[in-house]
């Protein structure tokens, strides 16, 4: 087996394991009578599903020796930034919060293992195409939409996925400051990954990947 296919197999394994972990936790969540919509309102769950699907698709494309376009590289970059944000925010703000029915091994996998794996994957296999820094606005759209959704829905049903989004814990001023800090962090991490990815891809990144033999 070539390195390319071995790497593709590892990517597929991590993606499949993550989707399995999320599915198991969803079953536990539903079994306790909790809302399915609430489950999919956690940024951690959405980001892990997103990143896992990207890894699986990347694995298939890599195995088959298929090239991808610039938009795919941007999509992949967004998934990496989301997972980096998951790891950073959890470690900084949520590691001491009661996680309820979340299984310890799934917590470790989703909040620690996958962020490290996905970021490492970005550097092991840099983007094949140059990513224009002006596209950072597209990358930031996902977390901004998520924050807007969380605040509007939270106010409507009095339920928030994360304590720092709940105005009952310090008021809307505290929520606004936290959201701004996270948004700035997202922009900075996105720009950093774009710059490093463009730098590391070298002169062969736009060359189509050879077809599998």
Residue 155 has pLDDT above 70, yes or no: yes
pLDDT digits (tens, 9 = 90+) for 54-71: 999 999 988 887 777 888
126: helix, coil or strand?
Answer: coil
Q: Quote the CA–CA distance of 177 and 28 in Å, as a whole number.
A: 34
Q: Quote the CA–CA distance of 160 and 154 in Å, as a whole number.
A: 5
| Pick from 49, 94, 54, 48: nearest CA to 74 | 54
Q: Quote the CA–CA distance of 114 and 106 in Å, as a whole number.
A: 10
Other C-beta atoms within 10 Å of 8: how many?
24
pLDDT digits (tens, 9 = 90+) for 184-193: 988 999 999 9
Q: How many residues does the chain have?
A: 213
Other C-beta atoms within 10 Å of 140: how many?
16
What is the pLDDT averaged over residues 195-200? 92
| Pick from 25, 42, 14, 20: nearest CA to 117 | 14
Q: Do residues 77 and 122 lie in contact, with contact meaning Cβ atoms separated by under 8 Å?
A: yes
What is the pLDDT averaged over residues 3-29? 94
Residue 211 has pLDDT above 60, yes or no: no
pLDDT digits (tens, 9 = 90+) for 86-120: 999 899 888 888 788 899 999 999 999 999 999 99
Please tell me what DSSP assigns to residue 164.
Answer: G
DSSP string, 139-185: HHHHHHHHHHHHHHHHHHHT--SSGGG-TTTTHHHHHHHHHHHHHHH
Q: Quote the CA–CA distance of 45 and 103 in Å, as a whole number.
A: 14
């Amino acid at each position: 087996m070539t390195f390319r296919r071995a790497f593709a197999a590892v990517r597929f394994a991590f993606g499949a394991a993550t989707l399995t972990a999320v599915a198991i936790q969803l079953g536990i969540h539903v079994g306790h009578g909790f809302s399915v919509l609430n489950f999919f309102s956690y940024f951690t769950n959405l980001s892990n599903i997103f990143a896992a699907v990207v890894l699986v698709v990347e694995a298939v494309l890599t195995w088959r020796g298929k090239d991808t376009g610039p938009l795919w590289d941007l999509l992949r970059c967004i998934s990496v930034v989301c997972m980096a944000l998951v790891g950073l925010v959890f470690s900084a703000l949520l590691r001491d919060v009661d996680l309820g029915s979340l299984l310890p091994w799934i917590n470790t996998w989703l909040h620690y293992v996958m962020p490290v794996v996905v970021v490492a994957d970005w550097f092991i296999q840099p983007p094949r195409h140059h990513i224009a820094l002006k596209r950072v606005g597209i990358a930031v759209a996902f977390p901004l939409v998520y924050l807007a959704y969380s605040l509007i829905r939270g106010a409507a049903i009095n339920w928030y996925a994360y304590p720092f989004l709940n105005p009952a814990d310090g008021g809307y001023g505290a929520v606004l400051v936290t959201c701004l800090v996270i948004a700035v962090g997202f922009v900075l991490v996105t720009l950093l990954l774009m710059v490093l990815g463009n730098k590391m891809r070298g002169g062969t990144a736009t060359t189509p990947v050879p077809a599998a033999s």
